[in-house]
Chain A
Amino acid sequence: MNITIIIRRISMAFLTYVVLNIIIFILPRLMPGNYVDYIASSRFLPKEAVEELYKKFGLNEPLYIQFIKYLSNVMFSIKPDFGYSYSFYPLKALDVILIFMPWTILLLTVATITTFIFGSILGFIAALWRDKIVDRIVSGFSIFTMANPYFILAMLLLMIFSYYTKIFPPGGAYSTTVQPGTIAFIVSVIYHMILPVIALTIGTSGQYVILTRSIIINNMTEDYFRVAEALGLKRHKILFEYALKPGILPLITLFGIRFGTMLSGALLTEIVFSYPGLGYVLYQAILSKDFPLIQALFYMMSLMVIIVSLLLDIIYTILDPRLRRQ
Chain B
Amino acid sequence: MNIRKAVLIIVLLVALAFISPVLAPYDPFQSIAPPYQSPSLQHLLGTDGLGRDIFSQLLFGLRITLIVSMASSLVSLVIGLLIGLASSLRSIPSQIVSALIDSFIVIPPLLIMIFIASIMGPLLYSEIIAISLSYWPQVAKTFRAETLSILQRAYIEASVAVGGNTLWILRKHVMRNLGHVILANYTYLLGVSIVSEAVMSFLGLADQRYFSCGMIFRYAFIQGAIYYGMWQWILAPALVITIISYILFEISKDILTK
Q: Considering the complex, which residues of chain B in the window 97-119 have a beta carbon less than 8 Å from any beta carbon of chain A?
A: 99-100, 102-104, 106-112, 114-116, 118-119
Grouping DSSP codes into helix (H, G, I), strand (E, B) and loop, the A interface class, with mixed when no group exceeds half, is: helix
Known: A156-B235, A159-B229, A291-B118. A260 touches B246 (CB 8 A): no
Known: A149-B195, A264-B110. A16 touches B202 (CB 8 A): no
Task: Using CB atoms, name the residue of chain A closest to B247.
Answer: A147
Q: A149-B214, A164-B229, A263-B108 are in contact. List 18 more A-B contacts (CB 8 A).
A: A15-B99, A15-B103, A16-B103, A19-B100, A143-B253, A149-B241, A151-B199, A155-B221, A159-B229, A159-B234, A163-B227, A260-B111, A267-B110, A268-B199, A289-B118, A298-B111, A302-B108, A309-B106
* B220 surroundings in chain A (CB, below 8 A): 155
Interface of B is mostly: helix
Q: Tell whether, in the assembled complex, residue A20 and residue B195 are in contact, meaning their CB atoms are under 8 Å apart.
A: no
Task: Name the residue on B nearest A298 (C-beta).
Answer: B115
A146 located at the interface, meaning its Cβ lies under 8 Å from any Cβ of chain B in the complex: yes
Which B residues touch A271, using CB under 8 A?
Answer: 202-203
The size of the chain B interface, using a CB distance under 8 A, is 49
B:208-258 near A, CB below 8 Å: 214, 217, 220-221, 225-227, 229, 231, 234-235, 238, 241-246, 248-250, 253
One of A27-35, A60-68, A177-185, A246-254 contacting the partner: A27-35
Q: How many A-B residue pairs have CB under 8 A?
A: 144
**Across the A-B interface, the 9 shortest Cβ-Cβ residue pairs:** A260-B108, A264-B110, A16-B103, A147-B245, A147-B246, A152-B238, A298-B115, A149-B198, A15-B103
Contacts of B250 in A (CB 8 A): 143
Is B205 located at the chain interface by the 8 A CB criterion? yes
Mark B residues whose CB is within 8 Å of A.
Answer: 99-100, 102-104, 106-112, 114-116, 118-121, 191, 195, 198-199, 202-205, 214, 217, 220-221, 225-227, 229, 231, 234-235, 238, 241-246, 248-250, 253
Contact B118 A294 (CB under 8 A): yes
